[in-house]
Every structure is written in structure tokens, then in C-alpha cells.
Chain A
Amino acid sequence: MAVNKTASELQSLLHSRELSVTELTKETLQTIKETDGPIQAFLTVTETEALQAAEQLDNLPDEQRGGLFGMPIGIKDNIITKGIRTTCASKMLENFVPVYEGTATERVKDSGMVIVGKLNMDEFAMGSTTEHSAFQKTHNPWGLDRVPGGSSGGSAAAVASGQVLFSLGSDTGGSVRQPAAFCGVVGMKPTYGRVSRSGLVAFGSSLDQIGPITKTVEDNAMLLSAIAGSDYRDPSASEKAVPDYRSALTGDIKGLKIAVPARYLGEGVQPEVRDAVKTAIGVLESLGAEVDEIDLHYSRYSAPTYYVISSAEASSNLARFDGIRYGYRPEDAKDLNEIYLRSRAEGFGDEVKKRVLYGTYALSAGHHEDLYERAQKVRTLIAQDFQDVFKKYDIIVGPTSATNAYKLGETIKDPLTLYANDLLTTPMNLAGIPAISVPCGFAEGLPVGMQIIGNHFDEPLLYKVAHAYEQATEFHKQTPPAREGN
């Protein structure tokens, strides 16, 4: 069964033609059909399109088959896919079928991967549990009464449950890394601009970044190599050359200088999470790294800064959903203004409305200076904090999330608990630096993620450290109870 094989094992079978892409795609679609009932990771399964793509790939000559050839992949439903429904998990876009391809998905296809479906998320990527989807709640494969994290919860749950080995998510304030941690998989938020945002439905334009979610670090490195790079459709996509991330996986981290912010292992962090991350840092030390405790003074202001900036940008970005050119429109509106007012009232869910309202408030004449501009200035201080640390240290390490996965509905009425968790992931988006989450243990039987943070464009270093850790431990080999065969 393909579901229990690694990507490199599948590649050998595909390249030797012992397994065809069509066979692998059919098996993947069957696995999704059999396992997605309790998980609810997929919003759309693209059976017809996937089988057509597989057939074309099977006819490719050997010399055109790359390292990701024939691999099935799921895509978060805020990354547009030509001819395939893209909903952003919102009633607003329930029937929206894009007419062009996003850059990341175009590159995924060009690398020979097969898109098998679109994955559930918090509506317009706003949330940390995937409970804010307008259509369904995704369940964590490690505990079906638990959330998978958010907003890329579908992307993480699909990989953790063995439905696919690869998925794409998006990370505005931790939305790749936190669900990766909750589901026991690898999630990378690359440097801002490393991956084109063309085709990513914008939430917070100065924060958003598409990132790969996979079972192993090596798979993650390969997928980022495929999607990264400059793009004439996105001026914020960096022109910097894309290294071969896979060649960074040497396993050698001797002499590496690691900083651990005291606050990241302080109050509010669940004791079992703290223990798991401390043990993981001990593993890095045993591999030859030097560890020091440091202070990131302004990081405690990162969550409020993130909420002001992301909401302000969201209120502007989501203005395009007005019921006129695409998206939800009420049938009986009598004038144009009523179309706008009712389309947005009936099409958006509560979390989206709250952030749009808050963003509108933050940008309004009376509050712009004291809230929005102040947040932009604090953002500078947060970014400077990181730059000061990177003058002395190679990387920063800490937990990805302060807790393990919440129970469904458990914290939804306590937004401040969710915000506290954001303290660990939002600073990297504000500074635009990369960070990767790797499985590093368990807390009460649920996965814990270690976050490895680097300076701008230091993805090769992050992959090197993450891979060295992964090879020294067994956590990436463990599979959840919901996965077939367990």
C-alpha cells in the first residue's frame, strides 16, 4: 500500500515503472475516500482532473521525470487552482472557479505532482483551529475530538493521516507551523517573498507566505525547491536565486550557535510541551550545537501587533468581495448598496467580520495613528530584536505552540488563550523571517512541535538543523491512531 511508503520509496517504484502514476493516484483517491469521513480534511476531491493529469504523466519519457514526479499533493483552499473550485472555506466563494492558475500550483504541476484536492481551512485563513470553516470542522488524526490547528488544519491533517505525503498551506501568523505541530508533521514558513503569493487569496499581504507541509524534512525541502523563486506576477517575490535545499541535509550541526528565548519556555507553556522541547534542545546539543538562553524583549508585543496589522490589511484585501464580479450575491437585493451590504453580511462568517470590523476601526481617521501606525513601529522593534540575536547566533529554537491540540470547541470562547499561543509564531511573520516546525515529542499523547527560526533566506540552515534532529530521533516515524493500518 502506497499509504505506508515514503516519498523516496514511491519515487523508486515510479521511476522503475513498477508503479504507474495512475495506479498511485487511484490508490490515493481511494485512501481519501476511506479515511476522510472522520478527518474531514478535504473540501474538494479532484478525481477527474487528477486521473487526467496522472495519465499524461505516465506518458512522459524517463528523462522528464523529476524528483517529485507523480507525487499526490493536496492544496489549501485559499490557493487558487484553474478550473477547480477555490472556496477559502467561505460561503462567499462557495461556487468560485478560478480562471487562472496560481504560481505555486503551476510550479507544483510543472514538477510532475498530481493535485488530488483542496483542503479545509479557517475561513479566509483567519483562525487557529479550522473550526471557522463555513463547511466542516477538520479533526486531528491523533485524537478525533481535537482540532488539527489552523488555519491550514486540513493541509496538516491530510499529511498526518497518510492521505497525501505533501500539501501546501499558508502562514500569516503561524498557520502552517501550528497545525504541523498539532498534527505531528513538518511545516515550513519560508522567508517572506521566497514563494510567490500570486494566486494566494490575500489575507495580510505583508505577512502571508505559502509553505509546504510534509511527513519528513527531506520531502519538505524538495517541495520548497519546486515552488520557490521570483515571479513576474508578484513584485514581492524575491529575485534571489533558489538553492537546492535537499543538498543542505548533511546532518552536521557541530559548532552551531543556538539561542533559546527565555520567554518561549516560560509561563503559559504547558509543562509537557516545555519538557519535550527542552529534551529536543538537548538532542541538538548532543549533536554538537552550543545553546544559550536569550531575551527577545519586544516579542511579547507581537500578538497585538499582528492583530492590528493583519486585520487592517484584511479589511482592505477583503473589500474585493462585494458580490458583483464573483462570489456570493443575494438574489433579491433592490439596489447596488444592498448588494454590497447583504453580500458581505451573508457571505462572511463571524471571525472574518470581526477582523474586517477591527481593521476598519484601526485604519479609521481617529485611530489610525494611535493603533495602526503604532503597530507598524512596534513591528520595527520586533524585527530589530531578531536582527540583534542573529548577529551572535545562527538560529533560534523554541516550541511551535504553547499547548498541544485543543479539544474541538474547547477554547473557541476564550480568544485570549488563542492569542497567547500566537506569541510563539506571529513574530516571524512580522519580521518576515523563516521558521520550520518539526515533531519533537508528545504531551498527553498528542504531538509537540519544535520551532527552528532563522534569518532571512536561511532556509538551508533550518532544513539542515531540522534534518539532523529528525535523523537523531524517531518521532517522524510515528503515525496517528486514525491512520490506516494502526
Chain B
Amino acid sequence: MSNYTKEEVQYYANFARIDMPDAEAQKFADRLDTLLEFTDRLKEIDTSDVAKMTHPLAFTNVLREDTPADILDRDDMLKSVEEHEDGMIKVPNILD
């Protein structure tokens, strides 16, 4: 029995922009349940006075001269685009 419902899976799938039919959502509900149970053990630790670690090492920005340049070729970049026209990427109408 899953604590995680398929409706909840669909709720998060919508945030992640993944189409999620009912049958698939049920499958992931069970899998996420296992994962949640596994990661729930982190609650055993008192972390109230612990600082968060976001990155293993400190790093600084890498700067370069602000010189305008074509870094990549537009035609080359468009080779990986499914649909394009006049140098622009084509998508279906966004507005009616």
C-alpha cells in the first residue's frame, strides 16, 4: 500500500512538465514511496545547529574582457533544433 497517491505524483509531474497518465502515476507512487521511506531516516539527526553545505569547495567567478563576439555559429546551433525557419526556432502558436 502506497502512502503516496497517484494524484500526488501527477501534481509533482505537472511541476516537472512530464505527462503522467494514471497507470504510470501509480507505478511511480510505489517507487517514490520506497525512496521517501529511505530518505526519511535523515530525520533521526538533530540538525538544528548545523550550517547547510551547498558546495564542496569555495569558488570565484571567472571573468573575461567584455568584448562582443559570436561565440557559436547560429546555423550550427540550429542543426540540433527539430523545427526552425529563417534562423529562428519554431513552436506551435502560443496565443490564439
Q: Could you list which residues of chain A lie within 8 angstroms of chain B, going by C-beta atoms?
A: 95-100, 191-193, 206, 230-236, 238-239, 298, 301, 303-305, 307-308, 315, 319, 322-327, 329, 333-336, 338-342, 344-345, 348, 350, 353-354, 356-358, 360-361, 364, 370-371, 373-381, 383, 415-416, 419, 430-433, 456
Contacts and interface: CB of A to CB of B under 8 A. Distances in A.
A338 B18 CA distance: 10
B67 interface: no
B17 A380 contact: no
B23 interface: no
A353 B53 contact: no
A411 to B, nearest CB: 14
A339 B62 CA distance: 36
A380 B50 contact: yes
A371 B56 CA distance: 19
A100 B50 CA distance: 41
Contact of A341 (B18, B34, B60, B83): B18
A357 B45 CA distance: 25
Interface string B68-96: 00001100110111110000010111100
Contacts of A357: 9, 12-13, 16, 18, 28, 32
Given A230-B62, A383-B53, 13 more contacts: A99-B76, A192-B57, A233-B62, A236-B57, A324-B89, A335-B93, A335-B94, A353-B28, A357-B18, A360-B16, A371-B42, A374-B43, A377-B50
Nearest to A457: B57
Given A325-B89, A335-B93, A361-B32, A344 B17 contact: yes
B35 A307 contact: yes
A58 B72 CA distance: 30
B80 A96 contact: yes
Interface residues of B, number: 52
8 contacts: A236-B59, A333-B92, A334-B92, A344-B16, A360-B13, A379-B53, A381-B47, A383-B56
A193 B59 contact: yes
A419 B31 contact: no
B34 A415 contact: yes
Q: Is the interface of B mostly helix, strand, loop or mixed?
A: loop
Given A358-B32, A378-B47, A99 B80 contact: yes
A206 B72 CA distance: 27
Given A315-B16, A345-B20, A97 B52 contact: no
A311 to B, nearest CB: 8
Nearest to A98: B80
Given A99-B73, A335-B92, A431-B56, A325 B50 contact: no
B51 A380 contact: yes
Contacts of B89: 324-325
A353 B24 CA distance: 11
A293 to B, nearest CB: 23
A326 B80 contact: yes
Contacts of B18: 341, 344-345, 348, 353, 356-357
Nearest to A307: B39
Contacts of A374: 42-43, 45, 47
A126 to B, nearest CB: 13
A238 B55 CA distance: 13
Contact of A342 (B12, B19, B53, B57): B19
Q: Which 4 A-B pairs give the minimum distances between C-beta atoms?
A: A432-B56, A345-B19, A326-B80, A377-B47
A319 B54 CA distance: 20
Contacts of A350: 27
Nearest to B15: A360
Of listed A338, A361, A376, residue having the most chain B CB within 10 A: A361
A350 B83 CA distance: 27
A70 B84 CA distance: 40
A238 B53 CA distance: 18
Nearest to A345: B19
Nearest to A419: B38
A238 B59 CA distance: 7
A326 B57 CA distance: 32
A282 B84 CA distance: 63
B22 to A, nearest CB: 13
Contacts of B38: 303-304, 307, 416, 419
A322 B56 contact: no
Given A334-B92, A364-B12, A380-B52, A97 B79 contact: yes
A353 B56 CA distance: 27
Contacts of A235: 59-62
Contacts of A353: 18, 28
A350 B20 CA distance: 11
B12 A234 contact: no
B81 to A, nearest CB: 6
Contacts of A206: 54-56
A353 B93 CA distance: 27
Given A307-B38, A361-B12, A373-B52, A341 B17 contact: yes
Nearest to B39: A304
Max chain A C-beta neighbours (<10 A), residue from B13, B53, B73, B94: B53
Contacts of B83: 329
Among the interface residues A235, A304, A308, A315, which one has the most CB atoms of the partner chain B within 10 A?
A: A304
Given A358-B35, A377-B47, A432 B16 contact: no
